Amino acid sequence: MNGERPLTRDMKPDGEPLSLQEYERAGGYRAVRQALRMAPEAITRLVSDSGLRGRGGAGFPTGQKWSFVPLGAEAPHPKYLAANADEMEPGTFKDRWLLEGNPHQLLEGMMIAACAIEADVAYVFLRGEYTLAARRVERAIAEAYQAGYLGRHPFGADRGLELYLHVSAGRYMCGEETGLLNALEGKRANPRAKPPYPQVSGLFGKPTIVQNVETLACLPHIITHGAAWFHGLSRGVDAGSKLYGASGKVKRPGLWELPMGTPLGELLEEHAGGLRDGLKLRGLLPGGASTDFLTERHLDVAMDFTHVEKAGSRLGTGTIIVLDDRTCPVGMVWNLEEFFAQESCGWCTPCWSGLRWAERLLDGLERGQGSEADLDRLEWIVKFCAPGNTFCALAPGAVEPLGSALKYFREDFMAHIRERRCPWS
Amino acid sequence: MLAEQERREIEAELERYPRRDAASIDALRIVQRHRGWISDDSLREIAEFLQMSPDDLDSVATFYNLIYRRPVGRHVILLCNSVSCWIMGYAQLRQELHRRLGIGFGETTADGRFTLLPIVCLGACDHAPALMIDQDLHRDLSPDALDRVLEGYR
Ligand SMILES: Cc1cc2nc3c(=O)[nH]c(=O)nc-3n(C[C@H](O)[C@H](O)[C@H](O)COP(=O)(O)O)c2cc1C
Ligand code: SF4
Ligand code: FES
């Protein structure tokens, strides 16, 4: 572990974005020039060797994803790249930091990914509420065009790259890989059946890669410093540094770039300052709304994909949401299921009917109208929405906090039933 | 009829996609920026310009949270109701907004000044509770701070 913070090191303390000149002075836009001299396969191999896994939540190996894109003279064109800047997972606010603080780093990452898959057109798919990020990314794109880094012959290269900002109009499903493609095509953000996979037939039927903002931001640094260096950033099994965050009733909510695999307890105590005075930790969601609760017992878990999974949850987006002892766990889960039920696209029965039913049952429990049979019903819904039963990962993700809450906070559910009211209200 | 300015802006978007109808969301956003919301007439005008059926465009328009198919006030308040804000005092903030403005979610004040809507996580969870008014994010709010914030929107 070398303690470096490549993704945020160059950002300004006041949060103002780096201009193109400032970014270049800090070493920016050298990696893409290097990438342009490499064969696409060599870039993909380097990224595979670096161990980079997707930072959007699923942790899929990035190089492996690219390896399915057809290359060379026979490949269909135009090929597309989309930066997933939809960031609508409740409790998640990490990509905002990168978008607002250093948009050129994202653009350079996109240029490198475009080299690797020989993409012709790239989009930044940005959620509509990120208005400040929209202005800054738009400006960075204009600067890059002006400098000749985008367009017909970027950096004098043969292959052109057009890069556009698409500002979305809001729905959680837009962040799902294939939902995003439909949204970019101007349709409802329903997911698509796979196969065909987007790498082969994605946006407008052409080979397409969708990649999270943080994933893309890692690329210039991997090109510059190499795979071994990227592994060296980590304290855990998975490579790199990671943006972690904390929200809820902690002393210092915020965001930090730390070595991948930083222990959960260190994140909570040292960086977030621990719980506010007088409050105790009940549990936390380690990586956004659609991850399983962890508890006090898990504070020594290393926050990387591998270890969080072993502990029964997922690293997800790496932004933890803290539940304290003065907040009702049943109410918190109700809030989460209300979100997921609302954002269901309505395609599959377990999702639209199961999640709304769960939300209604939880609401009943909160009002003191629940019974023990309701807990069995909730358990049943958790199984009903398991991976494989639905078209996309929204429903399986939605029941992760529910299933784990039933496990860890059983006694709190029972108290609602016994007392016929919410003990916290 | 779409105004000259609206057409120009939509045409700039069309260059970014290989198909006209792909710009539907951009076009809806552009017209809404000029007119405040998307009326049935606006919908028909956009659909015609994009060579889509109004029904197809409407199914897109109604899917997305930030496209308003009903009139809204001069300023739109988007109050985050997601989990971190819920933990940090969303309910009190909501109650105070209802009390001060005299409206519930989905309603507009009688003077047409504010429309109040719920919104999912605004990505400001470390500064919860949060809300947006028009293009501006307001963070670390408390019921007491609302006066000062609302003051800025006439
Ligand atoms: C309902 C849903 C919403 C999602 N939202 C986002 C998002 O906002 N941003 C993101 O990067 N990934 C999101 N994902 C994950 C994407 O499907 C996809 O895995 C990711 O963008 C791939 O990029 P990565 O490999 O770089 O992580 C979402 C997934 C689901 C099922
Ligand atoms: S799981 Fe839910 S959101 Fe995903 S396709 Fe099915 S209904 Fe739609
Ligand atoms: S939960 Fe309100 S800003 Fe994230």
Residues A348-387, buried b or exposed e (16+ Cβ, 10 A)? Answer: bebbbebbbbbbebbbebbeeebeeebbebbeebbebbee
Smallest Cα–Cα separation from A330: which of A424, A189, A267?
A: A424
Instruction: Assign residue A400 the CATH number of its domain.
Output: 1.20.1440.230
The answer on pLDDT for A1 being more than 60 is: no
Q: Are residues A226 and A259 in the same domain?
A: no
CB B126 to CB A93 under 8 A? Answer: yes
Give me the residues paired with residue A208 across strands. A80
Model pLDDT for residues B78-124, shown as the tens digit of each residue: 999 999 999 999 999 999 999 999 999 999 999 999 999 999 999 99
Q: Are residues A263 and A349 in the same domain?
A: no
**CA of A173, closest atom in ligand 1:** 1
Q: Which amino acid is at A42?
A: A
Chain B residue set in contact with A, beta carbons under 8 Å? 16-19, 21-26, 28-29, 59-60, 63-67, 78, 81-84, 86-88, 119-128, 132, 135-137
| pLDDT recorded at residue B43 | 97
Give me the residues paired with residue A321 across strands. A247, A285
Closest C-alpha to ligand 2, atom 4: A392
Residue A280 in contact with residue A254, Cβ under 8 Å? no
Using DSSP, state whether B114 is helix, strand or coil. Answer: strand
Residue A256 in contact with residue A243, Cβ under 8 Å? yes
Whole-number Å distance between alpha carbons of A118 and A206: 12
Model pLDDT for residues A256-280, shown as the tens digit of each residue: 999 999 999 999 999 999 999 999 9
| pLDDT recorded at residue A236 | 84
Among A131, A335, A400, the residue to mutate for chain B (most B Cβ within 10 A): A335
Region(s) of chain B under CATH 1.10.10.1590: 4-63
Model pLDDT for residues A153-183, shown as the tens digit of each residue: 999 998 999 999 999 999 999 999 999 999 9
Q: What is the mean pLDDT of residues A222-248?
A: 97
Question: Chain A residues with CB inside 8 Å of B136's CB?
Answer: 131
| pLDDT recorded at residue B57 | 98
The answer on pLDDT for A2 being more than 90 is: no
- What is the extent of the structural domain holding A357? 329-419
Residue of A nearest to B122 (CA): A129
Tokens of A300: 């020594």
> Sign of torsion, CA A360 A364 A365 A369?
negative
Smallest Cα–Cα separation from A329: which of A397, A415, A396?
A: A415
- pLDDT interval class at A209 (50, 70, 90): very high
Residue A257 in contact with residue A324, Cβ under 8 Å? no
| pLDDT recorded at residue A309 | 97
The answer on pLDDT for A3 being more than 80 is: no
Residue A244 in contact with residue A320, Cβ under 8 Å? yes
Residues A191-216, buried b or exposed e (16+ Cβ, 10 A)? Answer: bbeeeebbbbbbbbebbbbbbbbbbb
Task: Give Cβ neighbours of residue B51 (< 8 Å, ≥ 6 apart).
Answer: B20, B21
Per CATH, domain B4-63 is 3.30.530.20:
no
Residue A41 forms part of a structural domain: yes
Radius of gyration of chain B (CA): 17
Smallest Cα–Cα separation from B2: which of A407, B13, A350, A397?
A: B13
Q: Which amino acid is at A249?
A: K
Q: Cα(B90) to centroid of ligand 3, in Å?
A: 10
The answer on pLDDT for A327 being more than 90 is: yes
Whole-number Å distance between alpha carbons of A49 and A123: 26
Using DSSP, state whether A377 is helix, strand or coil. Answer: helix
Average pLDDT of chain A?
A: 97
Whole-number Å distance between alpha carbons of A250 and A273: 6
Q: Are residues A275 and A174 in the same domain?
A: no
Tokens of A202: 């994605």
Share of chain A above pLDDT 70, in %: 100
Instruction: Assign residue A292 the CATH number of its domain.
Output: 3.10.20.600
Query: Cis peptide leading into A78, omega within 30 of 0?
Result: yes
Whole-number Å distance between alpha carbons of A304 and A315: 6
CATH superfamily of B75-151: Glutaredoxin (3.40.30.10)
Q: Are residues A96 and A43 in the same domain?
A: yes
> Is the ipTM, as predicted for this complex, more than 0.95?
yes
Nearest Cα of chain B lies from the Cα of A101 at a distance, in angstroms, of 15
Residue ranges with strand state E in B2-141: 75-80, 114-119, 131-133, 136-138
Q: Which of B63, B84, B123 sits opposite A188 (nearest CB)?
A: B63
Which ranges in A75-198 belong to alpha helices (H)? 94-101, 103-117, 131-146, 177-184
Share of chain A above pLDDT 90, in %: 98
Residue of B nearest to A323 (CA): B87
Q: Which of A287, A305, A324 is a domain's end point?
A: A324
CB A339 to CB B83 under 8 A? Answer: yes
Task: Give Cβ neighbours of residue A383 (< 8 Å, ≥ 6 apart).
Answer: none
Q: Are residues A386 and A294 in the same domain?
A: no
Q: What is the pTM of this model?
A: 0.97
